[in-house]
Structure 1
């Protein structure tokens, strides 16, 4: 009898252990945040599908005009995943002592050189002697511009004059008043400005100019960050979310008209503007080693320009999801 009870107890323990292995992950609603602009365009199909109950992911979405509306909540654990500028992802990692993981690149470069009244700018070197109107002083657009000028043999402080404005609308206003002019603008403001300023055209795609350097880095605007705690607690749901997010970016690029309507639905920009801007917004999905190589190289360039741009130091290897 005693032996029988021992065998029965062993069987119960084995079954309990097996049951523990098969224990289902607790379902949760993913609290997702995005910024009003290209960095959120890739998710609009996913948001629409989730709203209609067509996705496995259950999503609670918050759109913001500025990152500081989202990041405090994220760091306090009140949001789970954010689409933010890549340098901000590094800052969040450093400020949280490594409690943040970078999951995927979702937007490459969105900066362009536009020109009015001439066809004189066909390369970065052609900017020599020009006055460039731009926004983003002290942030990544300035560092990117200065880097590209330097890599093309120009001294940013001597060979060009950069006049910084606070908003893209100010840049467009200046160009509208002048017979000729050169500016650096991000999408979708490039598309908006071209509709407002007669004779304005795109002279250079700075993402393409960056690729021409063939230096092993890529020009990146933004990506997805997830709280480490969330990633560890809900790995299956995070993996499914990323799979559905990737499909959403692919849908946007393959169905521009329909995607533009969704971009307007979620308050990013009007559909008419979005339809023209989407092909130039470089919405992508990069993960794994491709993501790590691209982000490492870009953050190194920003760090060399100004360590504060990445939070004072480069993130550790555990910055990347799955590392």
Structure 2
């Protein structure tokens, strides 16, 4: 019996010594924590205009190492250049028109997720040589120069006209141009002209066309309808695979993007210098345009309400404008 007790004591002592010298096994790391611990480089895309103007502080901070995420930035003239790169996995997050995001969601069968609304309406009706445009109804019988056929500008104008009993192509004619610069040149040559332009090109036109005035803010006209939606120009959309793998990096991006838009809105002169640095427009133009660009970062339930209402108006108007079907709840990234 004594031998048995001695043996058990020796075994216990041996186990105690092993416990003292054996390294502790690391605790398993949850996926979200792993994403937070490891630096992530986000491949980001934006359009040459307000969508990228809201990112300039973020990009500048990233260059100096002041952001948690790293960022590689691609700027394009149209969404058609960015969306294939997103779908093919060459970009992680892009800023595109809201209806394009919905179309992508339908085409990829849920392969993308909407992170935030990035800009509200940036469309304005401008007039040279008179004050005949006073409200949407006063556009009846006019011919308008515009860009954006088959995109947000056409759909927004069609909807606003329809809410005032007017039909695009019947009551109001549009000469569609490929670039806002074409419209600015045309208005400079004509005595009387009306155009629908986005910022910052409204500011460009005001600097080049004598007697040009801003007649209507289409965002304000949309809000007057009080239909529960907002006029959304652009949104931020991510590859679902990227968002699923790096949720913490997505949350960090949204925080850093929100800070960037806040900076641009509060400091237009300083932000304008960065806008020129990244080749969007000249600083003098950007400083005047930024307050009219409606830069935002709307996430979560507010995003779902604002964007969902906007897409519903487009769907009711023309289902193919959003890809033939309204996106379901899986479209909205609600982890912000």
TM-score by length of 2: 0.88
Q: How many angstroms apart in 2 are the aligned matches of 1:148 and 1:6?
A: 79
- 1:9, CA displacement in angstroms? 11
- 1:7, CA displacement in angstroms? 11
Pick aligned residue for 2:162 from 150, 159, 174: 150
Corresponding residue for residue 108 of structure 2: 96
SS of structure 2 residue aligned to 1:27: coil
Residue-pair matches, total: 321
SS of structure 1 residue aligned to 2:253: helix
Pick aligned residue for 1:117 from 124, 129, 138: 129
Matched, 1:141 2:153: yes
Q: How many angstroms apart in 2 are the aligned matches of 1:6 and 1:311?
A: 66
Gap runs ≥5 in structure 1 = none
Corresponding residue for residue 246 of structure 1: 258
CA 274–5 in structure 1, closer or farther in 2 if over 3 Å, else same: farther
Alpha-carbon deviations, 1:228-276, whole Å to 9, x = none?
A: 1111211112111111110000000000000000011111111111111
Corresponding residue for residue 306 of structure 1: 318
Q: How many angstroms apart in 2 are the aligned matches of 1:72 and 1:87?
A: 16
Gap runs ≥5 in structure 2 = 1-7
Q: How many angstroms apart in 1 are the aligned matches of 2:285 and 2:297?
A: 22
SS of structure 2 residue aligned to 1:207: helix
Q: How many angstroms apart in 2 are the aligned matches of 1:184 and 1:225?
A: 26
SS of structure 1 residue aligned to 2:133: coil
Q: How many angstroms apart in 1 are the aligned matches of 2:165 and 2:321?
A: 24
**Alpha carbons 1:140, 1:302 under 8 Å: kept:** no
Corresponding residue for residue 196 of structure 1: 208
Q: How many angstroms apart in 2 are the aligned matches of 1:65 and 1:155?
A: 30
Pick aligned residue for 2:279 from 255, 267, 273: 267
Corresponding residue for residue 43 of structure 2: 31
Q: How many angstroms apart in 1 are the aligned matches of 2:249 and 2:102?
A: 24
Q: How many angstroms apart in 1 are the aligned matches of 2:178 and 2:246?
A: 41
Q: How many angstroms apart in 1 are the aligned matches of 2:29 and 2:195?
A: 61
Matched, 1:83 2:92: no
- 1:307, CA displacement in angstroms? 2.3
Q: Which one is further off, 236-245 or 163-172?
A: 163-172
Corresponding residue for residue 223 of structure 2: 211
**Alpha carbons 1:29, 1:58 under 8 Å: kept:** yes
- 1:183, CA displacement in angstroms? 1.1
Corresponding residue for residue 175 of structure 1: 187
Q: How many angstroms apart in 1 are the aligned matches of 2:13 and 2:114?
A: 54
Pick aligned residue for 1:278 from 290, 297, 313: 290
Q: How many angstroms apart in 2 are the aligned matches of 1:287 and 1:19?
A: 31
Give RMSD over aligned pairs.
2.5
Matched, 1:187 2:196: no
Q: How many angstroms apart in 2 are the aligned matches of 1:6 and 1:66?
A: 68
- 1:145, CA displacement in angstroms? 0.6
- 1:64, CA displacement in angstroms? 1.6
CA 136–19 in structure 1, closer or farther in 2 if over 3 Å, else same: closer
- 1:322, CA displacement in angstroms? 2.1
SS of structure 2 residue aligned to 1:269: coil
Alpha-carbon deviations, 1:16-65, whole Å to 9, x = none?
A: 58443596333321111111111111110010001001111111111122
